[in-house]
């Protein structure tokens, strides 16, 4: 991936999301058909009609809405590696933009579920020093989550190595090597003074 060249998730992301949708909706439709058929078999035509209306109508509306949303969401996602940071933009109605400086990146995790592995795509979760966000998942609200994610790209392992190579060449929080050495020396001097004070009080 080239610096300052925007890129997007693999088109297979759309197929992956439609697969997730099918895995949820199809069993629900089958369950509804079985329930409706059973009611018709026992001559509960009125009950079967009411059930079918209130059961299938929401499913159809949800399926149409999600089918409309998936392509738009996939097109809304954009990634960009600049000279100094990783930028992520996504959102159909509410736009979210994340900019993570290379100097703050502490680790990058790769995620690839069974279906993602089948489609040959994966996700990078980028973590920074001291960032704690609401996980919003099954792990609980206090668990740290990624500050930015590069989702469903085919070359996610190579991209991870490329970003880590850039990060390795940057000092943490953008501090220069000279500044880091000065701070280290000051901390060492402070520790020496503390040690002297403790030694004098103990003797």
pTM greater than 0.85: no
Segment 80-116, tens digit of pLDDT: 998 889 999 999 999 999 899 988 888 899 999 999 9
Query: How many other β-carbons are positioned within 10 Å of the β-carbon of residue 79?
Result: 22
Of 126, 113, 109, nearest to 16 (Cα)?
113
d(CA 190, CA 186) in angstroms, rounded, equals: 6
Q: The domain at 78-175 falls in which architecture? A: Roll (2.30)
Task: Give residue limits of the domains in the chain.
Answer: 12-75, 78-175, 176-203
Segment 106-143, tens digit of pLDDT: 889 999 999 999 999 999 999 987 655 544 334 444 45
């Amino acid at each position: 991936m080239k610096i300052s060249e925007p890129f997007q998730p693999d088109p297979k992301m759309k197929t992956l999301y439609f697969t997730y949708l099918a895995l949820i909706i199809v069993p629900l439709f089958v369950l509804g058909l079985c329930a409706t058929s059973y009611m018709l078999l026992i001559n509960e035509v009125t009950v079967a009609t009411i059930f079918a209306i209130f059961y299938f109508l929401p499913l159809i509306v949800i399926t149409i809405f999600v089918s409309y949303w998936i392509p738009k969401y996939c097109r809304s996602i954009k990634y960009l590696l600049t000279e100094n940071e990783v930028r992520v933009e996504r959102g159909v109605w509410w736009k979210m933009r994340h900019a993570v400086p290379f100097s703050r990146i502490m680790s990058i995790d790769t995620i690839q579920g069974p279906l993602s592995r089948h489609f040959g795509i994966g996700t990078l979760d980028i973590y920074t020093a001291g960032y704690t966000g609401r996980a919003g998942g099954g792990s609980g609200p206090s668990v740290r989550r990624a500050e930015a994610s590069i989702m469903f790209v085919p070359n996610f392992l190579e991209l991870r190595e490329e970003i880590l190579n850039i990060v390795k060449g940057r000092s943490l929080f953008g501090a220069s090597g000279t500044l880091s050495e000065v701070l280290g020396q000051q901390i060492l001097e402070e520790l020496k003074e503390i040690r002297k004070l403790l030694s004098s009080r103990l003797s």
